[in-house]
Amino acid sequence: MEILGIDIGGSGIKGAPVDTVKGVFLEERYRIPTPQPAKPEAVGDVVAEITQYFNWNGPIGCTFPAIIKRGVTLSAANVDDSWVGTDAQRLLQRKTGNPVVILNDADAAGIAEMEFGVGKGRDGIVFMLTLGTGIGSAIFVNGELMPNTELGHIKIRGKDAEHRASDKVRQDKDLSWKKWSKRLNELLQHLDFLFSPDLFVLGGGVSKKHHKFLHHLKTNADIVPANLRNDAGIIGAALAAKKLV
């Protein structure tokens, strides 16, 4: 089954047709920088442009960095505040002329990793953390998703965790991998104490550099890099849209 997956991020919007049986792209992904300010109409236009680029006519799965309930965005992380309360699903359906499912970006990445990546076949409690502009999270209990968790906003030393330990913070502050890992490990150990997970899966673009920092991290849970790297959001979005078929 082929479904178009689109991943809306704070810095870029990217998409590709996905084979939802194999969990692979059918064409090379296409990326457009996120418009600034990232307001609903402007972002919707980019999603429409990506849809047209692939000459797509059919269901679309789309991720978004926010709490999503019944297609409505209830928060706005690293995008314009005007998204709060927007019926994003209806907006994107109007822009693309296609049926759309929209879901939290980290939830989408987690769905992909649980289906095709390191979470496949794992029971117990699995945490997916996406490390990028912010820190997204997805929690699975025996393979079932608990949607819309926002663990990147847990307070660590008086700040949101993502304002201390995201990959953007590492780059902006020019932190060494060791210093950044110490910040990240504070978050992991805090989550370990609160939830006693069995596995942490670390995703986002930085996961491809896991050899530089993973050995500095230590919790009672296993810690592994995501297999699907930065493509997980697109694949997970497509999987979520299977229900439209």
List the one residue out of 57, 64, 70 whose CA is nearest residue 234: 64
* Predicted TM-score of the model (pTM): 0.93
| Same domain, residue pair 103 and 137 | no
Asked if residue 112 belongs to a domain, the reply is no
Instruction: Tally the domains of the chain.
Output: 2
pLDDT tens for each residue of the chain, 245 residues long:
999 999 998 889 999 999 999 999 999 999 999 999 999 999 999 999 999 999 999 999 999 999 999 999 999 877 899 999 999 999 999 999 999 999 999 999 999 999 999 999 999 999 999 998 889 999 999 999 999 999 999 999 999 999 999 999 999 999 999 999 999 999 999 999 999 999 999 998 899 999 999 999 999 999 999 999 888 999 999 999 998 87
Amino acid at 86: T
The phi, psi pair for 7, rounded to 5°, reads -115, 110
Instruction: Identify the bridge partners of residue 137 per DSSP, sorted by sequence position.
Output: 129
d(CA 32, CA 44): 12
For residue 211, what is the domain's CATH number? 3.30.420.40
| Same domain, residue pair 79 and 131 | no
d(CA 156, CA 144): 28
| Pairing, β 100-104 against β 86-87 | unpaired
| Same domain, residue pair 90 and 42 | yes
| Same domain, residue pair 157 and 62 | no
Q: Which residues touch 149 (CB under 8 Å, ≥6 apart)?
A: 106, 137, 138, 139
| Domain range for 56 | 2-107+232-244
